[in-house]
Amino acid sequence: MGSLAAEAVGIMDPENPTKLETEAVHLSDGGSARNHLPNRVFVNRSLNLENIKCYGFDMDYTLAIYKSPEYEALGFELLRDRLVSIGYPHELLRYDYDPEFPTRGLVYDTMYGNLLKVDSHGNILVCTHGFSHLKGDDIHNYYPNLFIQRDDTERFYILNTLFNLSETYLYACLVDFFTSCTRYKNCTQGFQHGDLFMSFRSMFQDVRDAMDYVHDSGSLKDRTIKALEMYVVKDPRIPVLLSRVKEVAKVFLATNSDYSYTDAIMKYLLEVPASVKSGAPKRAWRSFFDLVVVDTRKPLFFGEGTVLRQVDTLTGKLRMGTYTGDLQHGTIYSGGSSDVVCDLLDVRGKEILYVGDHIFTDILKSKKRQGWRTFLVAPDLIKELQVWTDKRYLFEELKGLDVYLAEFYKHLDSGSHERPDISAIQTRMKMVTEREREREREGEMSMSNRLMCCKW
């Protein structure tokens, strides 16, 4: 859970589902959960859960958490193989997914083939060309102002979902391969091979088409279903959470996935014996929800939506015509819109709390267009929080030096002619950061030595 949410809330107290905690205890079996980073919830504003009459959940990366890096490696393999199948060099098959390189939120420059990390204003923080990290003048050559127009979506593509991680790494692999391959001549906006010019733009389009193929063809879903234990985290707390929420409010599932895939994932996560000792029968996963909607096509779902149809759960096919009746419990619906969900469940705007992982598709759209309360699941922030916790002493020291530096300029104005000597503070700041870098290098060397010992 992360502070990037448009509006995040604390999780409910298992003993009192209407109580809001600013620092939450997960549905865990130990009292240490409160201080464990993955189980903490960050609140941007207070919210009285007694006013929430309905809870909605996305499925992918929300209820269904995919194992990392196994799932990203699978996605990368399918994307890479697809490119090779349409004519890209077979040498690309030598690349394997490295989870240490990509991160969510990078920007791909379709003109120059660079991956950029930028702040909310478009200022460039990090720039890579393939796997080469560019510095100083090299970055200035591409971006003289060290700045990009993030709203130029024709040129810059934001890789802002967890599904994009494998795609992000593939862009780096392609640039790395063509840059180092002697058969291709490096050009500013691509690569030349005889009469063939491979632009970064066309490369981007090929990867995007491959991404669509992997998802639309069902190859990623098929591989996932065949090895659920390998790719999907089975958390026994999920059915407990949904059961407790359903005792005090209505619950719905709204996912972009189709029925067959949703059915397989939800059975794996939710259909467990009620009691191992008593041998009680499994509870059907659909009974955890008052309403289930698949094929939602978010963010279109939060706008005009699509035709609402019923799903034949025996065949997986959609029934003819638009469904216009009342809510039928146990029925699976396809398409529709957020307005339809509100009508079927008889709830409105701020009475709904929606939980999702995509800050644009799930969080911003549902809040701005419908006024829903929102809860963002951001598992990739766990690592950042761990860094902040582990290195807090470093940040505090730098903060203290920054305050001390401000004191030198505190009483200066336009009439001041003497420039304060801040060299000692600058030297100290440099020493602090260099000391930390040295510790990191020593740690990497130590790990390398241990790996060598293991090999021998």
> In the prediction, which pLDDT does 278 show?
55
Q: How wide is the angle at C-alpha 170 spanned by C-alphas 165 and 172, nearest 5°?
A: 105
Q: What percent of the chain has pLDDT over 70?
A: 86
Is the pLDDT higher at 289 or at 379?
A: 289
- Report d(CA 220, CA 267) in Å as an integer: 18
Mean pLDDT across the stretch 425-444? Answer: 77
Using only the alpha carbons of the chain, give its radius of gyration: 26
> In the prediction, which pLDDT does 13 show?
37
- Report d(CA 35, CA 23) in Å as an integer: 9
pLDDT band of 159, cuts 50, 70, 90: very high
Residue 276 has pLDDT above 90, yes or no: no
Active-site residue, from 13, 60, 212, 380 = 60
Residues 6+ apart with CB under 8 A from 401: 425, 428, 429, 432
Residue 127: helix, strand or coil by DSSP? strand
Taking a C-beta distance cutoff of 8 angstroms, is the pair 37, 385 a contact? yes
Active-site residue, from 13, 58, 357, 413 = 58
Q: How wide is the angle at C-alpha 114 spanned by C-alphas 110 and 117, nearest 5°?
A: 110
- Report d(CA 351, CA 357) in Å as an integer: 20
Please give the backbone phi and psi of residue 155, each rounded to the nearest 5 degrees, phi first.
-100, -45
Q: Tell me, rounded to whole angstroms, the distance of Cα 386 from its chain centroid.
A: 17
Taking a C-beta distance cutoff of 8 angstroms, is the pair 354, 369 a contact? no
> In the prediction, which pLDDT does 270 show?
97
Instruction: Compute the mean pLDDT over every residue in the chain, rounded to the nearest whole number.
Output: 87
Mean pLDDT across the stretch 50-68? Answer: 96
Q: Which two tokens stand for residue 150?
A: 């993030």
Q: Which of 260, 263, 268, 238 is nearest to 251 (CA)?
A: 238
Residues 6+ apart with CB under 8 A from 367: 6, 7, 373, 374
Q: Supply the pTM of this predicted model.
A: 0.83
> In the prediction, which pLDDT does 321 show?
93
| DSSP bridge partners of 318 | 311
> In the prediction, which pLDDT does 274 show?
63
Residue 7 has pLDDT above 80, yes or no: no
Taking a C-beta distance cutoff of 8 angstroms, is the pair 283, 289 a contact? no
> In the prediction, which pLDDT does 36 show?
66
> In the prediction, which pLDDT does 356 show?
95
pLDDT band of 387, cuts 50, 70, 90: confident
Is the pLDDT higher at 456 or at 251?
A: 251
Residue linked to tokens 């500013």:
188
Is the pLDDT higher at 269 or at 14?
A: 269
Q: Which of 57, 6, 49, 32 is nearest to 253 (CA)?
A: 57
Mean pLDDT across the stretch 223-252? Answer: 97
Residue 137 has pLDDT above 90, yes or no: yes
pLDDT band of 300, cuts 50, 70, 90: very high
Is the pLDDT higher at 173 or at 329?
A: 173
58 catalytically annotated: yes
pLDDT band of 275, cuts 50, 70, 90: low
Q: Which of 387, 385, 386, 365 is nearest to 374 (CA)?
A: 365
Taking a C-beta distance cutoff of 8 angstroms, is the pair 178, 191 a contact? yes
Residue 281 has pLDDT above 80, yes or no: no
Please give the backbone phi and psi of residue 297, each rounded to the nearest 5 degrees, phi first.
55, 40
> In the prediction, which pLDDT does 41 show?
79
96 catalytically annotated: no
Q: Which residues of 13-47 are buried (b: 16+ CB within 10 A; e: fewer)?
A: eeeebeebbeebbbbeeeeeeeeeeebbbbbeeeb
pLDDT band of 262, cuts 50, 70, 90: very high
